[in-house]
Structure 1
């Protein structure tokens, strides 16, 4: 059945080996692998959990973490919740998550109370905002941060495991030695002020890994969180391919359901499309147009790259994607299968969609 996501576990293992070599062997950091990109796919999780150089498995969804917490803990590793916990999910967080990222004292207080009820000590990473302006206590408000740490350290059922930062995902701020040095300096102040030693100073995600190769990761950063670097082989700061990785471990296959010659310009007054956008069309005359049986509900059209380089994606709707196959050297027919590499957005949607089949290459 199509559409289908082909998951090459051998290539993913190769990517994991490569990023582990950079992160742990070269960078001296612990390795946290983020599983949300493939919606915590069980076979991928088993491979990652068994890898000797992986220390943590992380996801932004408690439901995903619950699905594999037992597998991870049996390997002596920790589950990590990346997205700040919602008050409505506190009990599930304490049950299934070993380490959660936090920035709100009201949430940490609830975690402390619930951990007491469950007879546990829950670990937290206090998030610091270095200017990307997503989550975290703002780094310039040092007094606020130190007061928060003081309260956290008094909680009987919470362990302050460390501090961390997220960059690039919202504000597109690239990690540099100078901004990450603000994080390590803050870690030193926290340790000195409270006579403690933080286990983790997490310096970001796949956009930070390039600093290791350049020798510019600040001393004191001892953890990176990698998702796209592992799954697609990308350094997300500048879009470079990481050494030893491949971008074709995940391939989307979709079937042609219509193949006809039609005008390239729609006929009539142009309004808005199914998603409320007013589209622009280029007049190419009569073209050979293929429709494949997948659309915006299941993938991200801008995040698909046809393996046939002479095919162009024109656009689509919820369930259809329209392609210009005029210049292709292949005489396609209705029923033929087209293959696409995926970017991050396309990968997220196809992995999450119940309408996209999964097939494994082992």
Structure 2
């Protein structure tokens, strides 16, 4: 089944049917003046609990419209192509820094709001926003390996992952330039943000060597792992949702060599038509019970320290979701690379065309 698949599915697990649009409204809300107000979100697909949006509408009377994207690049490209009407976006940290350089983000001073005291300051990772004056840290997690336990009783490393095809078992990787190249860098003990040409050449060659054993580069691997068509796939920690549903058949692991860590932040666009409502939503999301409500559904991490206390033990103390310190030390967060990204583009082109 050697092919390159570009199907985009839910990123709930983290990536989703792009450009879905839903409206969340409060049933029976009668305050006509407030009901006229709106808010437009542009987020990773199914990456926010609909109940969070419904509660916001019930509390404020503000109707929420949600459009979705499947990658940071898709989101930025649409905005740069002239898309208007969006109020809030949810970029990864490195994309937030890119958008800041492009002067696309509104300064919200969310860090001055009382609820910001619940945010773990260790997650103020955006170089363009070290104090949280612009965006609210929103969600974090890892990119590891989801596998079918009926086909693979145990899997602990990237080496184990790439060895599976030798036993006739299919594997899949994400259709994502930096995530795929990062595996080559991590297995070589290098930074996923390196711009050293030799490091990138070694990572490129490593992935090319493995490529003939990769059945698909896709965001749509969850159903294939569930069915057994794929034994294991590079995927996001949000796949723990399916692990909880079927623990006898599925498992998620952070490879022992290390993995990437993602962080999405909640940012108001400078072009937002509803800046006041957008600020209200950021403030609303600082509430521990709201952040916990979203985290319970997404099965990822939250930066809200009080929200963590509200999570069930299956999430709060799960090493796949909240890994111990020694595992966290091996997690790497993507940074904005400036002109250095061209080196990754070239390596990715070489990987995909080899």
TM class, shorter-chain normalised?
under 0.3
More helix per residue: 2
Whose Rg is larger?
A: 1
Structure number with the bigger relative contact order (C-alpha 8 A, sep ≥ 6) is: 2
More strand per residue: 1
Report the TM-score when normalising by structure 1. Answer: 0.26
